[in-house]
Amino acid sequence: MEISSHLGPFSVSQAAADSRAFALLLLYCVSLLNLLIKKMGALGLLAMAVPEKYKGAGLDCLAYTVAVEEISRGCASTGVVMSVNNSLYLGPILKFGSEEQKEKWIAPFTSGDKIGCFALSEPGNGSDAGAASTVAQLVGDEWVLNGTKAWITNAWDASATVVFATTDKSLKHKGISAFLVPMPSPGLSLGKKEDKLGIRASSTANLIFEDCRIPKDNLLGKQGMGFKIAMQTLDSGRIGIASQALGIAQAALDCAVDYAEKRMAFGHPITKLQAIQFKLADMAVALEAARLLTWRAATQSDSGEPYTKEAAMAKLSASEAATFISHQAIQILGGMGYVTEMPAERHYRDARITEIYEGTSEIQRLVIAGQLLKAYRG
């Protein structure tokens, strides 16, 4: 991609090649992921939008989307680790944190020695972010947290988390606040590592808070700003997941084309068959349309304009394109698409989660419709 000149194509291609080479091994040796994390940190890929004064790469959102796509094209598990650290952990601290918080909670998380996570979802209210049952009570100079957060990506590997808890139940979503919690901390334990369908090398688990005490100064932003922080962070996170989905989709298309060019039937490669050509055409159109929507959301973010609708459109189109393209890739490969000898089955498994986390496809449609109607009504 010419656009990769924004960030240095060598750095991204090098890391992407490593993630591709390790992708199958990561299913069986998760510790290899730590090697890739350190390599991404050394290349500046874990803190792409963070200014250089905080040891980040100082690049824009468009460069970030290209990088996440390329890394995810090699390995979706590595891509989501990168996306979470950039968008969901560092993002809200960079935007809402004090100068002291930025120094403490950003700089150490740029090199690959440490990564962070984002704790919003709960066991009983995954898509209802405004109904947080986790609570935080101010006791003297400390906040005391109690509750459980669910489906937390990077949980077993993280050294800190941005966590959302209710500080005033009477205010409903306006009574939610955001906090910075070091990991490990007394009173904070991890649930079991989930055995997932896809992105299996990335860790996913519950965070369980039982009288977990943190300093008063670990409040991110102001009290009651948590819901606003979460929603704005998810806009950025959706661009990250859209980019991950693009990488999965591109890898699936690459696999399908490569196989179809070599697979012979009736004396010719199956790419000579109209049925296969139609599939490839539909796959390519879905991928390019989703990529353009993702780049549009990224450029709108870079310009400082609101991009809630655009991020939701990007995430919806890219995630559904990834699922569609990886499904069609298996159809083209036939039986070979169903075995681990080929990467098509992994692409299919990895794609499915992109329609769920950072807001389901149904949530994206609600966001898009809400923004659309708001614009029409003035």
CA atoms of 328 and 333, how far apart (whole Å) = 9
Q: Which residue out of 310, 320, 355, 358 is catalytically annotated?
A: 358
CA atoms of 279 and 267, how far apart (whole Å) = 20
CA atoms of 113 and 262, how far apart (whole Å) = 43
Measure the CA angle with vertex 31, ends 27 and 34; round to 5°: 115
For the four alpha carbons of 163, 202, 195 and 255, in that order, the dihedral sign comes to positive
CA atoms of 204 and 156, how far apart (whole Å) = 7
Q: Are 1 and 69 in contact (CB under 8 A)?
A: no
Residue 358 is a catalytic residue: yes
Q: CA 180 → CA 101, 106, 152, 161, distances in Å?
A: 9, 11, 15, 6
CA atoms of 15 and 280, how far apart (whole Å) = 28
Region class of 199: left (phi > 0), else alpha (psi between -120 and 50), else beta:
left
**Angle between helix 76-83 and helix 226-262 axes, rounded to 10 deg:** 160
Cis peptide, bond prior to residue 123, ω within 30 of zero: no
Question: Given the structure tokens 């991928």, which residue do they identify?
Answer: 287
Backbone angles phi, psi at 159, to 5 degrees: -110, -5
Strand blocks (E) in 216-330: 219-220, 264-265, 268-269
The single-letter code of the amino acid at 184 is P
CA atoms of 85 and 334, how far apart (whole Å) = 37
Q: Are 220 and 101 in contact (CB under 8 A)?
A: yes
Backbone angles phi, psi at 149, to 5 degrees: -110, 140
The closest of 149, 169, 181, 168 to 223, measured between CA atoms, is: 168
CA atoms of 161 and 155, how far apart (whole Å) = 8
Active-site amino acid positions = 358
